[in-house]
Chains A and B, each alone.
Chain A
Amino acid sequence: MFKSLAYKEWIKLRIYWGLIFLAHLAFCLFLCLQLRRICKVNAALSVWDNWLFKDFLFFRPCQFGPLLMGIVFAALQFFPEILAKRLRLVLHLPLSEERAVGAHLGVGLGLLTLAFLPGVALLAFCASIWFPHEFLLNLAYIYAPWLLGGYAAYLFSAFTLLEPTWRYRVFNFLLGASFVRLCYFPTTYDGYLRLLAWLGLATAAAVVLPLLSANRFGKGYGS
Chain B
Amino acid sequence: MPPVIECRNLTHYFGSKPALRDVSWQVLPGRICGLLGRNGAGKTTTINILNSFIEPTAGRCLLFGEDAHRLSPSVKARIGYLIEGHVQYGFFNVRQIEKFYAPFYPKWNPDIYYHLISKLDIAEKQRVSTMSCGQRSQVALGLILAQNPDLIIFDDYSMGLDPGYRRLFVEVIRDYAADRKRSILLTSHIIQDLEGLIDDVIIYQRGRVLIDMELKDLLGNFRKFVFETAGDFKDFYDEPNHLRLERGEKTSTLYGFLDQTAASVSLNQLGIACGRGFREEKIPLEDIFIALTGKY
* A interface list, Cβ under 8 A from B: 1, 3-4, 7-8, 11-12, 80, 84-86, 88-89, 91-96, 217-220, 223
Say whether B104 faces chain A, with CB atoms less than 8 Å apart.
yes
What CA separation (Å) do A88 and B83 show in the bound complex?
8
Shortest CB-to-CB span from B44 to chain A, Å, is 9
Asked if B89 and A92 sit within 8 Å, CB to CB, the answer is no
| Closest CB in chain A relative to B150 CB, distance in Å | 13
What are the interface flags for B79-98 relative to A under an 8 Å C-beta threshold, 1 for contact and 0 otherwise? 10101010111111000100
Residues A220 and B104 in contact, CB atoms below 8 Å apart: no
Chain A binding site: helix, strand, loop or mixed by DSSP?
Answer: helix
Stretch at the interface among B24-32, B70-78, B188-196, B288-296: B70-78
Residue contact B51 to A88, C-beta cutoff 8 Å: yes
Q: Closest residue to B79 on the A side, CB-wise?
A: A92
Interchain CB contact under 8 A, A89 and B88: yes
Cross-chain pairs A/B with CB under 8 angstroms, 21 sampled: A4-B100, A4-B102, A8-B89, A11-B92, A84-B83, A84-B85, A85-B87, A86-B89, A88-B87, A89-B83, A91-B53, A94-B76, A94-B77, A94-B104, A95-B76, A95-B104, A219-B53, A220-B48, A220-B49, A220-B53, A220-B55
- Tell me, rounded to whole Å, the shortest Cβ–Cβ distance linking B140 to chain A: 10
A-B interface, 7 closest residue pairs, ranked by CB to CB distance from nearest: A220-B54, A94-B77, A94-B76, A94-B73, A219-B55, A4-B103, A84-B87
B167 within 8 A of A: no
Shortest beta-carbon distance from A56 to chain B in Å:
44
Decide if B91 touches A219 in the complex (CB within 8 Å). Answer: no
Q: Which residue of A lies closest to B81 (CB)?
A: A92
List, in ascending order, chain A residues with CB within 8 A of B83's CB: 84-85, 88-89
Complex Cα spacing A88 to B155, Å: 13
Q: Considering only CB atoms, which chain B residue lies closest to A8 in the complex?
A: B100
What total of chain B residues lie within 8 Å of the partner, measured CB to CB? Answer: 30
What residues of B have a CB within 8 angstroms of the CB of A94 in the complex?
A: 73-74, 76-77, 104-105
Point out the residues of chain A lying under 8 angstroms from B55, CB to CB.
Answer: 219-220
Contacts of A11 in B (CB 8 A): 91-92, 96, 100
Binding site for A on B (CB under 8 A): 14, 48-49, 51-55, 73-74, 76-77, 79, 81, 83, 85, 87-92, 96, 99-105
Contact residues in A for B52 (Cβ distance below 8 Å): 91, 218
Neighbouring B residues of A91 by C-beta, 8 Å? 52-53
Nearest CB in chain B: distance from A102 CB, A: 14
- A80–B100 alpha-carbon span in the complex (Å): 16
Partner of A93, one of B14, B76, B89, B91: B76
Q: Smallest distance from the beta carbon of B108 to chain A beta carbons, Å?
A: 11
Contacts of B79 in A (CB 8 A): 92
**Nearest Cβ in chain A — how far from B54, in angstroms?**
3
Nearest chain B residue, comparing its CB with the CB of A15: B91
Closest to A13 in B: B91
Contacts of A85 in B (CB 8 A): 53, 83, 87
Q: Is the CB of A80 within 8 A of B90?
A: yes
A80 to B90, CA, bound (A): 9
- Which B residues touch A219, using CB under 8 A? 53-55
Q: Known: A84-B87, A220-B48, A220-B53. Is A96-B99 also a contact (CB below 8 A)?
A: no
Identify the closest chain B residue to A86 (Cβ): B87
Q: Determine whether the beta carbon of B48 is less than 8 Å from that of A80.
A: no
What is the CB-to-nearest-CB distance from B227 to chain A, in angstroms, rounded to a whole number?
A: 46
Q: How far is the CB of A168 from chain B (nearest CB, A)?
A: 16
